[in-house]
Amino acid sequence: MLPIEEIEDFVKKETKNVVSATHDFSHLKRVADGAVWFVKIINENKEEQDMAYIAGLLHDILRPASEKICHAKASAERSEQILNKFDIEKSVIDKIVLAVKDHRLPVEWNSPLHQSVYLADKIFEQMGAFIAFRRCMYVGECADYRDKPVLETINSHFKMRIKRIPKTEFPEKFHKLVDYQYKWLIEMAHALDINENWATNIGTQMYNHGKEHKTTLEDSIRNLETVSTEDEKYKQETLDYIDGKKFNFFENLAKP
């Protein structure tokens, strides 16, 4: 058996004082849970689920508040160092590290495990209503955007993400899920285009939290003051995801 609890405890300590609040332990844990979910939906292999969980925990173990450094490569190297501290076969370590290394961009996937972290990170953490909050906070905390116009920069991120990762990059089995998740992103981008109050409210509040770096992403979302039924809808959808209440719904979207 893999020492999952021990690795999780190690990662918690390692990420106690992270630079990026949007890449803290809670992000790693959600991606780990999501990676397990994707492996389970694809082939229900328990051994691969365990390895996917560990890969999810480690995928952003090194995540500077800048996009000028390849965090996937850095995290893969650090993951290998961490896993070598435990009694784990080299072949297993290699599979976990590969999933970490390739989680940023699509590659030629060799197994559900290999693809699991990419799927969880992209479909769950970088789409859906959740990204309206997470990306705005990230822009606030990222040094690369410190002198850029706030709402324009945020919206450019949303539009770039829609273009950069088309539905066709994902297994056909998950296309309905991707459509559902992208719907939130497209709606948010359009609302920012026309300066809708609810969208600018999310953008400015979350950006300021990121810039101040005084609170966690989850607390920022839970404490966000809404101004309409629209941002309240986004907030509730996001909290349902964070609280693990969306997975049955997501599973239905993955059915033929």
Query: Which domains are present in the chain?
Result: 1-116 (1.10.3210.10), 126-256 (no CATH)
Q: How far apart are CA 28 and CA 59, in angstroms?
A: 7
Cβ contact 37:56 at 8 Å: no
Q: List the structure tokens of 192.
A: 């920012």
Cβ contact 96:83 at 8 Å: yes
Mean pLDDT by 10 residues, the chain (256 residues): 97 91 96 98 94 98 69 93 97 98 94 98 97 96 88 92 88 97 96 97 97 95 98 99 98 94
Q: How far apart are CA 246 and CA 239, in angstroms?
A: 9
Tell me, what DSSP letter sits at residue 214? -
Q: How far apart are CA 199 and CA 184, in angstroms?
A: 11
- For the chain, how are helix, strand and coil distributed in percent, rounded to 5? 70, 0, 30
pTM for the whole structure? 0.94
